[in-house]
Amino acid sequence: RVLSLELNKDRDVERIHGSGINTLDIEPVEGRYMLSGGSDGVIVLYDLENLSRKPSYTCKALCSVGRSHPDVHRFSVETVQWYPHDTGMFTSSSFDKTLKIWDTNTLQPADVFHFEGTVYSHHMSPVATKHCLIAVGTKSPKVQLCDLKSGSCSHILQGHRQEVLAVSWSPRHEYILATASADSRVKLWDVRRASGCLSTLDQHNGEKSKAASEAASTAHNGRVNGLCYTNDGLHLLTIGTDDRMRLWNSSTGENTLVNYGKVCNESRKGLKFTVSCGCNPEFAIVPYGSTIAVYTIFTGELVTMLRGHYSTVNCCVLQPNFQELYSGSKDCNILAWIPGLREPVPDDISEKSPPQQHLNPAYEDAWSSSDDEG
């Protein structure tokens, strides 16, 4: 289904945003409701379900935190995320230096955290049962951990030298956090340890600078602005402004050296990309200028480019139950990419018909019927 993603002619997402869309999130409970955050501070909540039951439909906006809302973010919303365990709550963070915890039903903030600098990224663990920490990456090199239970932001992780552009909790270990910074480094932390990070990922796997200390370890030759774990948590993908994507073994910190070629990335802030779920092979789905590139994660092959946006794509998110993709762009549109149905081949094709040239190799039959061989 991922291999046959195409721009869907029968599904629209209602256009509410009057400016670029930076971030999307689909709630993991039912996979039905989606949030979007815009560069004008507006947040919109959509219902992705086809309530009309017609083949052609529009995903309706149920409600929004618009410009006239008293608690709207003053500047660009960079990240939105649903509370992982139910849809009664969601979170948003913004260049207005705040992280807001929203009650979905009243659209009122239940809590607001304030920071000294712009907020680039935040993340809640999808698997944590023993903590309610939100990791926050800001203009400060210090990674902040905000506790939803106590409402305090007391915990700080120190080690980066420049702004923190992306943060992501491991989907496998609830205390493990990955952070990416403009200092070219990616760090892994166990947030129970006060003494510093567990490891700093090294693109050269320690080969280049045996003499130099950990200080020399860089993940990219540029700002690192995208992070995404594979769903099993065994690997971590990173993207940098050196136009490279790298795949790391998340337990050893080793660069697996998969080559994805040039992955164009001119984003001055965090880049939101995603991975497929439950496919074999698994895919990375990455904004690439005004297109979206789909790569096989473990071989680095560029499988397809999805074209349809008019301007820079900032984010994409997968609806895992159906492998449907939604993307948000500077062009103010959210596009739905749905697996195309393959045309059934009629039975009465004569021997003379030309060979099927355009079949994706992944779909080709490998068996032969004994009739032909006799």
- Write down the domain spans for the chain: 2-339
User: CB neighbours of 324 closer than 8 A, spacing ≥ 6?
Assistant: 318, 336, 337, 338, 339
pLDDT digits (tens, 9 = 90+) for 303-345: 999 999 999 999 999 998 889 999 999 999 999 999 987 665 5
* CATH (residue range 2-339): 2.130.10.10
In whole angstroms, give the CA distance from residue 294 to residue 302. Answer: 6
Within 181-270, residue ranges assigned H as helices are: none
Strand partners, 302: 295
Torsion of CA 238, 267, 82, 253, to 10 degrees: 10
Tell me the one-letter amino acid at 32: R
In whole angstroms, give the CA distance from residue 355 to residue 219. Answer: 46
In whole angstroms, give the CA distance from residue 137 to residue 115. Answer: 10
Helix (H, G, I), strand (E, B) or coil at 217: coil
Q: DSSP assignment, residue 361? A: G
Quick one: how far is CA 290 from the chain centroid?
A: 16
pLDDT digits (tens, 9 = 90+) for 61-119: 999 999 999 999 999 999 999 999 999 999 999 999 999 999 999 999 999 999 999 99
Helix (H, G, I), strand (E, B) or coil at 103: strand
In whole angstroms, give the CA distance from residue 171 to residue 179. Answer: 14
pLDDT at residue 2 tops 60? yes
In whole angstroms, give the CA distance from residue 353 to residue 70. Answer: 66
Pairing of strands 57-65, 11-13: parallel
pLDDT digits (tens, 9 = 90+) for 197-230: 999 999 999 886 554 555 579 999 999 999 999 9
Q: What is the pLDDT of residue 374?
A: 46
pLDDT digits (tens, 9 = 90+) for 260-310: 999 999 888 999 999 998 888 999 999 999 999 999 999 999 999 999 999
**What does each C-alpha distance from 230 to 233, 234, 281, 308, 365 come to in angstroms?**
5, 7, 12, 26, 29
Peptide bond into 354 cis (omega under 30): no
- pTM for the whole thing? 0.89
